[in-house]
């Protein structure tokens, strides 16, 4: 019997590489990673019997379609997703191939969710926004929600140390999220919020302790509001050390938006940040902390449920979040045709089992 094959678009990036590593550890599939470099320039030491390389530009529709058609699951890691369209998912639907992505972009998520009916008719299960946040964070919210009878508010806070082990693409995405006010779901209505505003002190397990977070646009606002019909969804993000928060605040509130949007700005800020974090990563670490707080009621009484996660490598944790979804698709444990956010399609027992397998600990308290 031929081995199953997983195609990872953008598989040579930090997140794509982490997804590939997770799949090599937890499945028997052949993993094909793509990049723009010619195959001859990719060192043989980077590959093995089950890890293969394909030189592919997403603009090469014929090559992209051929690579997708020969796979069982396609994982889209080729961000920033602000600039991506529906082509990859549409080709997956056309060929009946399951789809997973690591998008953290609201506009891209909307475009993917609009393909739900087409995916259902094709029998394709597509899961968007996998990874660490969004991704594992969504399932942490579902854990909390399932402990309540009614849910009123969801508050998600993310803290990343230094670079988080991520590369330039993730940093580009971070700065793109600062360009304009965004809609947030507050008290049952959409209100415009300024990115990197409303600084808030939160508590996380060691080694983080007290940390500061700010409003930041994430697709969880859209998907959690739809999945759980809550009145408020708050998504906030912060960095460690704290001086990175102040620098990001300056970029969000002082720098001209036209400059950030320019070709120079979209490269200058990520490059500078990447250089700085390479200096600070050895002492700040590259980990991640997540706090999911859900308010509602149980047995007629108000109740708040909190789940927290701390991991020492953000990129590895993201790979585990995405890899676990792909593994479930490969072995047939996850099958729900349509396009879904993680919290809508992944049952909590499956989530908890995959996290245990990957030694990712999530603590919960009431």
Taking the CA atoms of residue 102, residue 247, residue 182 and residue 194 in that order, the dihedral angle to the nearest 10 degrees is 160
Q: Please check whether residues 178 and 243 belong to one and the same domain.
A: yes
> What is the enclosing helix (H) or strand (E) of 106?
helix 106-113
Residue 160 covered by a domain: yes
Q: Please check whether residues 204 and 306 belong to one and the same domain.
A: yes
Q: Please check whether residues 33 and 138 belong to one and the same domain.
A: no
Helix axes 314-330, 14-26, angle to 10 degrees: 50
Q: Please check whether residues 175 and 119 belong to one and the same domain.
A: no
Question: Phi and psi dihedrals of 286, rounded to 5?
Answer: -130, 30
Q: Please check whether residues 338 and 355 belong to one and the same domain.
A: yes
Q: Please check whether residues 165 and 259 belong to one and the same domain.
A: yes
Residue 266 covered by a domain: yes
Residue 366 covered by a domain: no
Q: Please check whether residues 261 and 144 belong to one and the same domain.
A: yes
Among 293, 314, 335, give the residue marking a domain's end.
314
What string of pLDDT tens digits covers the 366 residues of the chain?
578 999 999 998 889 999 999 999 999 999 999 988 887 777 665 677 899 999 999 999 999 999 999 999 999 999 889 889 999 999 999 999 999 999 999 999 999 999 999 999 999 999 999 999 999 999 999 999 999 999 999 999 999 998 787 666 666 677 777 778 999 999 999 999 999 999 999 999 999 999 999 999 999 999 999 999 999 999 999 999 999 888 888 887 877 766 666 666 667 777 777 778 888 888 889 999 999 999 999 999 999 999 999 999 999 999 999 999 999 999 999 999 999 999 999 999 999 999 999 999 999 765
Whole-number Å distance between alpha carbons of 4 and 15:
21
Average predicted confidence (pLDDT) for the chain? 91
pLDDT digits (tens, 9 = 90+) for 188-246: 999 999 999 999 999 999 999 999 999 999 999 999 999 999 999 999 999 999 998 88
When divided into structural domains, the chain yields a total of 2
Q: Please check whether residues 138 and 127 belong to one and the same domain.
A: no
Question: The whole model's pTM is what?
Answer: 0.93
Contact between 274 and 170 under an 8 Å Cβ cutoff? The reply is no
Q: Which domain holds residue 53?
A: 5-131+315-361
pLDDT digits (tens, 9 = 90+) for 156-195: 999 999 878 766 666 667 777 777 899 999 999 999 999 9
């Amino acid at each position: 019997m031929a081995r199953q094959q997983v195609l990872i678009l953008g598989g040579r990036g930090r997140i794509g590489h982490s997804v590939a590593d997770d799949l090599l550890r937890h499945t028997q599939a052949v993993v094909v990673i793509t990049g723009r470099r010619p195959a001859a320039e990719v060192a043989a030491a980077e590959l093995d019997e089950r890890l293969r390389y394909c030189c592919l530009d997403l603009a090469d529709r014929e090559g992209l379609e051929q690579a997708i058609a020969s796979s069982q699951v396609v994982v889209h890691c080729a961000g920033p997703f602000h600039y991506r369209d529906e082509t990859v998912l549409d080709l997956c639907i056309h060929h009946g191939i399951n789809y997973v992505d690591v998008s953290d972009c609201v506009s891209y998520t909307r475009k993917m969710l609009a393909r739900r009916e087409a995916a259902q008719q094709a029998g394709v299960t597509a899961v968007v926004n996998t990874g660490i946040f969004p991704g594992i964070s969504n399932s942490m919210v579902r854990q909390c929600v399932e402990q309540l009878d009614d849910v009123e508010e969801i508050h998600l806070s993310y803290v990343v140390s230094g670079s988080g082990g991520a590369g330039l693409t993730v940093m580009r995405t971070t700065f793109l999220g600062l360009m304009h006010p965004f809609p947030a779901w507050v008290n049952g209505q959409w209100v415009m919020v300024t990115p990197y505003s409303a600084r808030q002190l939160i508590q996380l397990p060691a080694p983080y302790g007290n940390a500061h977070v700010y409003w930041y646009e994430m697709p969880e606002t859209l998907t959690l509001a739809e999945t759980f019909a809550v009145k408020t969804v708050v998504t906030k993000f912060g960095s460690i050390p704290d001086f990175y928060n102040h620098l990001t605040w300056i970029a969000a509130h002082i720098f001209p938006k036209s400059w950030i949007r320019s070709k120079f700005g979209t490269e200058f800020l990520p490059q500078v940040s990447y250089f700085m974090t390479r200096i600070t990563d050895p002492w700040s670490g590259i980990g991640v902390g997540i706090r999911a707080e859900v308010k509602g009621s149980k047995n007629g009484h108000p109740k708040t449920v909190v789940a927290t996660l701390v991991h020492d490598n953000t990129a590895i944790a993201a790979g585990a979040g995405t890899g676990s979804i792909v593994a479930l698709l490969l072995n047939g444990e996850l099958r729900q045709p349509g396009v879904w956010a993680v919290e809508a399609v992944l049952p909590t027992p499956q989530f908890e089992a995959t996290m245990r397998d990957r030694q990712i600990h999530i603590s919960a308290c009431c």
